[in-house]
Amino acid sequence: MNYRCAHRWAFPKWGGPLEEMSDELPAPTGREVTVRITHCGMCHSDLHIQAGGFDMGGGKMSSLERAGTKLPVTMGHEIGGEVVEVGPEVTDAKVGDKVIVYPWLGCGQCPVCQRGDDHLCTRASRNMGIQLPGGYADLVRVPHERYLVGIGSLEPARAATFACAGITAYGAISKLDKLGADDHVVIIGCGGVGMTAVALLSATSPAKVVAVDPDPAKREAALKHGAAMAFDPNEPDALKAIGKACNMNIAGAVDFVGGESSSSLAVNLVRRTGQVIIVGLFGGEFRMPLPMFALKSLRISGSYVAGLNELRELVALAQRMTLPQIPLDLRPLASVNQALDDLAKGRVVGRVVLQP
């Protein structure tokens, strides 16, 4: 295989379909690495990226174009594969290493990036699969070897999904205060990311985990993955029923939907001094009576993916414990447009993982 010619699927127009294109990769310099992609997970945010932005509520959309993202865009930020070429200064990666790629890059130079929180860089966003070419390709150039995480004995397709779905769940629950056995934590939205959070939290914390999802199959799966209780948010009086079942002692609510009704449910469920963590990017506007902040001593925070160190921690944790086997739907990369369409129309169960 020629490691200097990448074949990728990219969209040349915002909102348009992906097209196959190829380009020459120069020889890796410095600490750059080329990874031959074996798997790339498809994330719900790819639909927003393809559309060009996120719903900011009140009819407003964010714009990746205004923020400087250049076309064509090669999406795909859950990249797994094998190192095939390394730059002359690379010391910690070698040809043949089985890796996943941390995609949430910043400038790489500032103190925030240097401590491994590239995703929070204040200078630049250079995310792979948005600003930099991502994993809907056969080869990808990684700007620095430190963004590679070895997967050890983990199944490569599953490990690839850790780069976004996995660390998003892990990063969100890591923000919860130390919990006791009497505490309850509500997880709203039990798709792949929410379900991973249910399993990780149940396995690592004494608190009781409460799953909230309108889909009975997801509620049942959440109970299997360690949730103590599960509720349908669309039932009349769901708020009261959940509160009562938890002895009105809900220390935290993590919203993996990030919609108007889910965030409002989260805020209303938590006890005084409770934590609300908003993760999902469904979109809309957040409204709450201002006195609630003080009266409930509420803490509301957001959680966006997670740092490089958290990805390393999650990989280590996954080698020690059995995480939920979220169903994987392996498909050829050439069917990427169909897969995006299926994802948009809600026809995907679990996570699509593309294979070049």
Closer CB to Zn ion, residue 43 or residue 257? 43
Instruction: Determine if 340 is a binding residue for Zn ion (CB under 5 A).
Output: no
* Number of residues forming the site for Zn ion (CB under 5 A): 9
Classify burial at 342, counting beta carbons within 10 Å of its beta carbon; exposed 0-12, middle 13-18, buried 19 or more: middle
Instruction: Determine if 121 is a binding residue for Zn ion (CB under 5 A).
Output: yes
**Nearest residue to the partner Zn ion, using Cβ:** 43
Instruction: Determine if 194 is a binding residue for Zn ion (CB under 5 A).
Output: no
Distance, CA of 286 to CA of 289 (rounded, Å): 10
CB of 129 to Zn ion, least distance (A): 8
Instruction: Give the range of 118-126, 226-234, 248-256, 342-350 binding Zn ion by CB under 5 A.
Output: 118-126
Closer CB to Zn ion, residue 230 or residue 311? 311
Q: Which of 35, 64, 151, 164 binds Zn ion (CB under 5 A)?
A: 164
Encode burial over 260-270: b for 16+ CB neighbours within 10 A, e otherwise: eebbebbbbbb
Distance, CA of 188 to CA of 193 (rounded, Å): 11
Instruction: Determine if 99 is a binding residue for Zn ion (CB under 5 A).
Output: no
Closer CB to Zn ion, residue 90 or residue 164? 164
Instruction: Give the range of 60-68, 101-109, 188-196, 231-239 binding Zn ion by CB under 5 A.
Output: 101-109
Q: Which of 93, 99, 113, 157 binds Zn ion (CB under 5 A)?
A: 113
CB of 113 to Zn ion, least distance (A): 3
Given a contact cutoff of 8 angstroms between Cβ atoms, the answer to whether 34 and 137 are in contact is no
Instruction: Give the range of 22-30, 108-116, 200-208, 289-297 binding Zn ion by CB under 5 A.
Output: 108-116
237 CB-near residues (< 8 Å, 6+ apart): none
CB of 349 to Zn ion, least distance (A): 18
Binding to Zn ion (CB under 5 A) within 27-46 occurs at 43, 45
List phi, psi (to 5°) of 345. Answer: -95, 10
Distance, CA of 140 to CA of 300 (rounded, Å): 37
Closer CB to Zn ion, residue 48 or residue 271? 48
Closer CB to Zn ion, residue 118 or residue 183? 118
Instruction: Give the range of 1-9, 100-108, 208-216, 233-241 binding Zn ion by CB under 5 A.
Output: 100-108
Closer CB to Zn ion, residue 113 or residue 139? 113
Instruction: Give the range of 86-94, 105-113, 172-180, 268-276 binding Zn ion by CB under 5 A.
Output: 105-113
Instruction: Determine if 242 is a binding residue for Zn ion (CB under 5 A).
Output: no
CB of 180 to Zn ion, least distance (A): 32
CB of 278 to Zn ion, least distance (A): 16
Q: Which of 106, 166, 252, 356 binds Zn ion (CB under 5 A)?
A: 106
Given a contact cutoff of 8 angstroms between Cβ atoms, the answer to whether 281 and 306 are in contact is no
Q: Which of 21, 25, 107, 245 binds Zn ion (CB under 5 A)?
A: 107
Instruction: Determine if 105 is a binding residue for Zn ion (CB under 5 A).
Output: no
- Residues in the site for Zn ion, rule: CB under 5 A? 43, 45, 106-107, 110, 113, 121, 123, 164
